[in-house]
Amino acid sequence: MSLTIAIPKGRLGSQAIEMLKAAGIGESIDEKSRKLVFDDEQRNLRFMLLKNSDIITYVENGVADIGISGKDMIMENSADIYELYKMNIGKCKISVAGIKGKKIFKDDTIIKVATKFPETAKKYFNSKGQKIKIIKLNGSIELAPILGLSDVIVDIVETGNTLKANGLEVFEDMYPITAMVISNKISYKFKRKEIKEIIELIRKEDEKYG
Ligand code: PRP
Ligand code: MG
């Protein structure tokens, strides 16, 4: 296969796959099957469905030439990859949130922060001079303050529905997020033409979401 493309599973993945299909390059992908690799023989493309947090690892190591990843994962991993195209899908933000009406920020206390983005959280609170203790979780972060595991959370907010449904609110917005097309550095050197062609097809569809 001339190009291997890493696609995330889940919410962002569904949007990305829909876009690829509309762009005429994702026809072979069947999200409902349990298969994880799909070949487009005609276009010489191989698609791999991966967990969101693994896309960067595959691209950085060159197992995938390009991939679609949320900016949240890129920030968290500070990977040695190129960010080639900022997409209009996957728009959300990373925010500090906690129990509604209970915002506590005191310089001299150590705030307990539950998150799946420890590096991003550290960087953010460091820059504010706020001391924190990270509690690393892998999902359902919103439960942490409710159950007393943490004071606040650092997590993705898209519609805000999850926060609301759990009695939480945004205390501070940290960073805006979108999906990005990323590339392995060596792939970009040797397969630049193919990569640019694919990005051009994606861009034409993506602009409709702008
Ligand atoms: C993500 C994120 C928030 C929620 C935000 O969780 O971690 O919990 O979506 O979306 P909303 O603002 O539209 O409600 P996800 O559903 O991916 O599950 P997880 O945290 O358990 O991995
Ligand atoms: Mg969640």
Q: Are strands 37-40 and 45-50 parallel, antiparallel or unpaired?
A: antiparallel
**Ligand 2 centre distance from Cα of residue 2 (Å):** 36
Only one residue has tokens 């026809």, namely 27
**Ligand 1 centre distance from Cα of residue 166 (Å):** 12
Averaged pLDDT for residues 21-46: 93
- Above 80 in pLDDT, residue 190? yes
Cα distances from 53 to residues 10, 13, 159, 200, in angstroms, run 11, 12, 21, 25
Q: Residue 158 CA: which ligand 1 atom is closest?
A: 12
Of 122, 114, 190, 184, nearest to 146 by C-alpha is 114
- Above 70 in pLDDT, residue 118? yes
- Above 70 in pLDDT, residue 105? no
| Separation between Cα atoms, residue 92 and residue 77, nearest integer Å | 18
pLDDT, the chain, mean: 95
Q: What is the pTM of this model?
A: 0.93
Using 50, 70 and 90 to split pLDDT, how confident is the model at 103?
A: confident
Averaged pLDDT for residues 30-39: 93
Contact 78, 3 (CB under 8 A): no
**CB-ligand 1 contact for 5 (6 Å cutoff):** no
**CB-ligand 1 contact for 141 (6 Å cutoff):** yes
Q: Where is 70: in which H helix or E strand?
A: strand 66-70
* pLDDT of res. 9: 93
**Ligand 1 centre distance from Cα of residue 140 (Å):** 7
| Separation between Cα atoms, residue 196 and residue 192, nearest integer Å | 6
Give residue-wise pLDDT tens across range 152-176.
Answer: 999 999 999 999 999 999 999 999 9
Ligand nearest to the CA of 162: 1
Three-state secondary-structure class, residue 120: helix
**CB-ligand 1 contact for 153 (6 Å cutoff):** no
The encoded tokens of residue 133 equal 């203790």
* pLDDT of res. 107: 64
Contact 132, 121 (CB under 8 A): yes
